[in-house]
Structure 1
Amino acid sequence: MPAELHANAVVADAHNDLLMAVVARPPARWASFFRERWLPQLRAGGVDLQVLPVFIDDGFRPEGALRETLRMIECAHVIAEGNAEDVRLCLDGPQIDAALTEGKIALVLALESMPGLDANVELLPTLHRLGVRIASLAHWGRTPLADGSGEDATASRLTAAGVAAVAEMERLGVLLDISHLGASGVAHVLELASRPVLATHSSARALRDHHRNLTDDQIRGVAATGGVVCVNFLPGFLAADPADYTVARLADHIEHVASVAGVDHVGLGPDFVHEVFTDLTPPCCEDPAATVDFDVMATLPGLAGPSGLPLLTAELLARKLPEPDIHKILGGNLHRLLTTYLT
């Protein structure tokens, strides 16, 4: 029964850093490496819609950030062109729906922070033309647009460039992602937003008091915009005690977000980094834990990557959640948001 439910659902993953691993290969290998290494995992996990974040490691910042941003965007296009029978890089809702109808995985490009832009908001239309449809303003630290949650002590709102970026994103139809944004920045965004806001990979702070997680008020704020909070699977964001690194704990966070925001506003943002970090060579990941206060290489049992996603469906079903609600959580809500907003 869980397998059938999972197979019949639209499964949407709001955050998988696989582009980091693919782009590290020679360009001639980008399409084939994705096909050999990642496509089987996505298929095994039943993933129908995959958001591909463009994340720029510190080694490329600041001078090489824009070049690496463009390389990763080009990599996504090469992946799609070289695997056209299986995936499609989608620019709008109709393209997403067409991909799903054809049995293809719909890929959507996102920017995780925007170091390649610095404060040059006028480049957002350029990146939109290249296919970017989701973007965030900060990562762990300070950017020219905003402070990340690692800088919460500053209590900083968005900079003038950050405010301009929000307005430009809304004009272009690029979804604003608040994951990683500092608390004051989130409040500022929620004041400014006139369109839905997305959290691509954030868990519940009520269950795990970590600055990367969202408070109940923030969760309600995202829901009030019509947006979706996609729960992060990284164990350190789910629990302080490694003994609680379980699929059940992940389900606790999902149920909590649903109870606060409503079941129409929760989704999945797994943040599967274990294989990415294992696969990459220095200097980008010599010490993956350097900027966090837990073991980022830890994984939930059976959920180290996309192929384990049916385990979550089984857990949600065992908790007696209504099947229509499970469909919404697995991807229905994110699918609805993207197909409605990306027009």
Structure 2
Amino acid sequence: MSAELHRRAVVAETHNDLLMGVVARPPERWAGFFRERWLPQLRDGGVDLQVLPVFIDEQFRPEGSLRETLRMIEAAHVLAEGNADEVSLCRDGEEIDRALADGKIALVLALESAPGLDANVELFSTLHRLGVRVASIAHWGRTPLADGSGEDATGSRLTRAGVETLAEMERLGMLFDVSHLGASGVAHVLELATRPVMATHSSARALRDHHRNLTDDQLRGIAATGGVVCVNFLAGFLSADPAEWTIDRLVDHIEHVASVAGIDHVGLGPDFIRELNLELTPPCCEGMVTMAGFDVNAVVPGLDGPRGLPLVTEALLRRGHSEPDILKILGDNVHHLFQKQLGRPA
């Protein structure tokens, strides 16, 4: 029953850093590597809609950030063109619907913390022209636009350029992503937002008191904008106790978000990074362990990559959730948000 339901669902996955693995190969291998390494995983996991974040590792910051940002965006276009029978890089809801109707995986480009842009807000328009449709403006630390959650003690709100960025993204029809943003920054965004905002990969702070997770007030605030909170699967964000690194604990977070924000405002943002961390040389994201406070390679058994996503459907059914609610969680909520907002100018 769960397998049939999972096949029938539109499964939307809002955070997989696979572009980092693609761009680590020579350009002539980008399309082929995606087809060999990632496409089977996405198909086995039933993924229909995949957000592709552009994350710039420490080794490229600050001097090479913009160059690497452009390389990763180019890699996304190349892998989409080279696998046009299987995937489509989408700029709006109509293109997503067309891809899904054709049996293709809809890909959506996102920026994670936008380090290459500095305070040059006008470059968001440039990246919008290149197909970027979702963006966050901070990671763990400080940027010219805002502070990440690792700097919560500063109590910092958005900078002037950060405020301008939010307005520009709303004008362009880009979705603002609050994952990784500091608490005061999230509050500032929720004060100013006139269009839906989302969290692409954040769990519930009421269940795991970690600065990367969202409080109940933040969950309600995001829902009030019409946005969606996509729950992070990383074990350390679900519990401080390794004995609780289970699928049931993940479902606890999904249920909590649904109970606070509403069933129409929860989705899946797995943050599948273990494979990338283990394969990239030099090691990817070494500073993350210090900032996170736990081993970021620790995963819930079975959920180390997209192939494990059917296990979530199985667990939701086992916990007694209705099919309509499960379909919303798996992807309908994100799909509907993208249909209404993605690429639609204010």
Q: Any conservation in 1 of the 2:276–2:284 contact (CA below 8 Å)?
A: no
Q: Does 1:176 align with 2:176?
A: yes
Task: Give the counterpart letter for 2:334 in structure 1.
Answer: L
User: How far apart are residue 278 of structure 1 and its match?
Assistant: 1.1
- Number of residue pairs matched by the alignment: 343
User: How far apart are residue 284 of structure 1 and its match?
Assistant: 3.6
Mapping 1:132-281, distance limit 5 Å: 132-281=132-281
User: How far apart are residue 288 of structure 1 and its match?
Assistant: 5.4
Tell me the SS of whatever aligns to 2:49.
strand
Tell me the SS of whatever aligns to 1:211.
coil
For the residues of structure 2 that align with 1:123 and 1:301, how far apart are their CA atoms?
41
User: How far apart are residue 58 of structure 1 and its match?
Assistant: 1.1
For the residues of structure 1 that align with 2:128 and 2:247, how far apart are their CA atoms?
36
For the residues of structure 2 that align with 1:129 and 1:123, how far apart are their CA atoms?
10
Mapping 1:325-336, distance limit 5 Å: 325-336=325-336
For the residues of structure 2 that align with 1:284 and 1:42, how far apart are their CA atoms?
22
For the residues of structure 1 that align with 2:150 and 2:129, how far apart are their CA atoms?
31
User: How far apart are residue 287 of structure 1 and its match?
Assistant: 6.3
Q: After superposition, what is the alpha-carbon deviation per residue over 1:247-304, rounded to whole angstroms, capped at 9, x for unaligned?
A: 0000000000000010000000000001111121105445652432001111111111
Q: Any conservation in 1 of the 2:230–2:269 contact (CA below 8 Å)?
A: yes
Q: Any conservation in 2 of the 1:138–1:181 contact (CA below 8 Å)?
A: yes
Task: Give the counterpart letter for 1:170 in structure 2.
Answer: E
In the other structure, the counterpart of 1:84 is: 84
Tell me the SS of whatever aligns to 1:212.
coil
Q: Any conservation in 2 of the 1:59–1:283 contact (CA below 8 Å)?
A: no
In the other structure, the counterpart of 1:339 is: 339
> What runs of 5+ residues in structure 1 fail to find an aligned partner?
none
Task: Give the counterpart letter for 1:93 in structure 2.
Answer: G
What TM-score comes out, normalization by structure 1 length?
Answer: 0.99
Tell me the SS of whatever aligns to 1:291.
helix
Q: Any conservation in 2 of the 1:207–1:239 contact (CA below 8 Å)?
A: yes
In the other structure, the counterpart of 2:105 is: 105
In the other structure, the counterpart of 2:93 is: 93
Q: After superposition, what is the alpha-carbon deviation per residue over 1:142-179, rounded to whole angstroms, capped at 9, x for unaligned?
A: 00000000000000000000000000000000000000
What TM-score comes out, normalization by structure 2 length?
Answer: 0.98
Runs of 4+ deviating beyond 4 Å: 285-288
For the residues of structure 2 that align with 1:156 and 1:290, how far apart are their CA atoms?
21
Q: Any conservation in 1 of the 2:277–2:283 contact (CA below 8 Å)?
A: no
User: How far apart are residue 123 of structure 1 and its match?
Assistant: 0.7
In the other structure, the counterpart of 2:34 is: 34
Q: Any conservation in 1 of the 2:150–2:291 contact (CA below 8 Å)?
A: no
Tell me the SS of whatever aligns to 1:124.
helix
In the other structure, the counterpart of 2:13 is: 13
For the residues of structure 2 that align with 1:338 and 1:210, how far apart are their CA atoms?
28
For the residues of structure 1 that align with 2:230 and 2:286, how far apart are their CA atoms?
28
> What runs of 5+ residues in structure 2 fail to find an aligned partner?
none
Task: Give the counterpart letter for 2:41 in structure 1.
Answer: Q
Q: Any conservation in 2 of the 1:66–1:117 contact (CA below 8 Å)?
A: yes
Q: After superposition, what is the alpha-carbon deviation per residue over 1:71-106, rounded to whole angstroms, capped at 9, x for unaligned?
A: 000000001000000000000000000000000000
RMSD of aligned residue pairs (Cα, Å): 0.9
Percent pairwise identity:
76
Tell me the SS of whatever aligns to 1:210.
coil
Task: Give the counterpart letter for 1:321 in structure 2.
Answer: H
Tell me the SS of whatever aligns to 2:230.
strand
Q: Does 1:323 align with 2:323?
A: yes
